[in-house]
Structure 1
């Protein structure tokens, strides 16, 4: 049922309209009346009516001032004004404010009933239009979601259909970034610089971000705290200017999420933090990628589960010995590449020089090959964990010292990993394990604490932004507010 309120300083008008109109016949409940402007505003705030009937002449605040205040706060409310002064200036101002009707006193019952009828017709029309718009928007959203998922899975082939679903907005898109989520979360805060599309692909939760600007700073700013606020882990792929590279960003996001979940639930992990090993092919199978993951994370049980699945798969196929040998060697050499990420020399694995392509030639049955594969993967894992234990504390301590000396510069994970002589993926995992914070959060925390010191000393916000490594004032200001709860200027002034 619709709610209406009635305002007039004449008791007879209020009482007459209240009693003589059958409001319920029109599906309207008259929830209150008022005889002055201030009481009228209180009534609107209390009941949130759909329709307001008001006289112009009232004590305290006149009817047009009341209407102006109401429509400023809730423009959807329908306002009807009546007055004994049918002057042009009153009418002109009422129309400018957006009133639905202007009735000249004396008010009669037929006048009010006729006005109510027009209001109901108007509301029905609005409802119909809104319903059509919602249906159209829902339909278009489904088309965009389907076309976007096809773009992630098929790349070039799906681009024409995707362009058609986006219509005129397609020309404004400058880049694309894919995010993989551990679970469905609250909507990413909207911003004029990007447009997010939420997708499900089986058990996967994905957010595809279409950028309207080349600069993705605003998105990165939102993602720094958004995951922990919503209790989800997020992996982000790289941002690509070509839409046909969306599948690459999708794969990278999935990998980043997997590593992020291993390190800590509720974190944001960028693919750039994990880094790429150029010696590991990009077209690996899911099983090969899983073996690399379990080696890097030191998960012995997970590794041998994947090795056993690999062996079962090979045994179920009728492959000749050369193919089996080649597939086994591929796994061994992938394991060695992961071991190299520690920065140590892996040529002395086992006894003396390690030459697996020579050793496997001495095996003449599948069973011996499979047993040898298990033993080699176990040896690589043991060596990897031993080196990790020996190097972890010193490497991270060295990295922290380097970060503290250079945090005012553009300091990437890649830079720090190179300084300590490690692969970025390996270093990222090691750093998180030792410090209980991801690299990006550690760096941000360090910068924010130094910013607080400088602000307390009275430095200008723009100067502080530069001194702690943020060359975009706005980016620094928003990050500081999320970290400290107030913006940098307010923080400085409080001291």
Structure 2
């Protein structure tokens, strides 16, 4: 019997996995469960399971930390991680730990059983030594620690912002080609698909109909499972997703850039009072490189970012100087300047007057 241990902090999920499978009839021995990694570790050391199924995000000791410790102590133990797609950035870390599978919740009984049967084949083959090493290597394609450090997370996002529908197919072909043999791994295909969906999902406001449509078409478990079946299905998913996103982008904006520039301007409007706001922080929020963001900002708005930020701050300072009796040093802090002298210098540059003189001119509108 192949021994299985389960770690999951959500009781109803844990109970569901434990009780819905007739473990013995499939050749498994369910040897224990725990609600977090801290409680699980001593039990795992005692029971020595062949397979560890663990949620990746839990209180106290999470699945990643548990996985690291388990792999150090028991290198041959097979780890299956469970996670929601909002946590899919953990997939890269899971791959480096040596995860066998990375399954998205909610996970069906059939899907989990399919994975468990495959893992059992690997375990039994190694212990019985009854098949060739080449066969084992083929079965273990998904267990290899593929290097995801070269995966360019921003490339697809940039294409959604600037790409043309006529270029989608060429982009997807090249995007897939650059990943090469890594795509033999189911985990890596899951990583690519979920990154594409999450990047697309981030383009829409939480309550928008477009976000809901995106989720219905591309965000279901059925869509994900089909997309990661093989490289051909992954390619189809990416083609359809990018065509959908570019169509929505053009409907929303009427141009390639106005959508992200509106997000940038809105971010400045809400954060100009923070002295640490900069081109880099806004570019990171938008999801572009600082150089690229700076270029399109100046190109589309006719003013560089720093001038736009400064003018936003000066406009608010002018309002406060006219409408309140706050001290100039306090107004400087309120609009994002730690140094009153620097504030006065910036104010004079844009307004051709000092803050004090501006305030004294009661007739200025």
In the superposition, the TM-score normalised over structure 2's length comes to 0.35
Q: Greater CA radius of gyration, 1 or 2?
A: 1
Alignment TM-score, normalising by the size of structure 1: 0.26
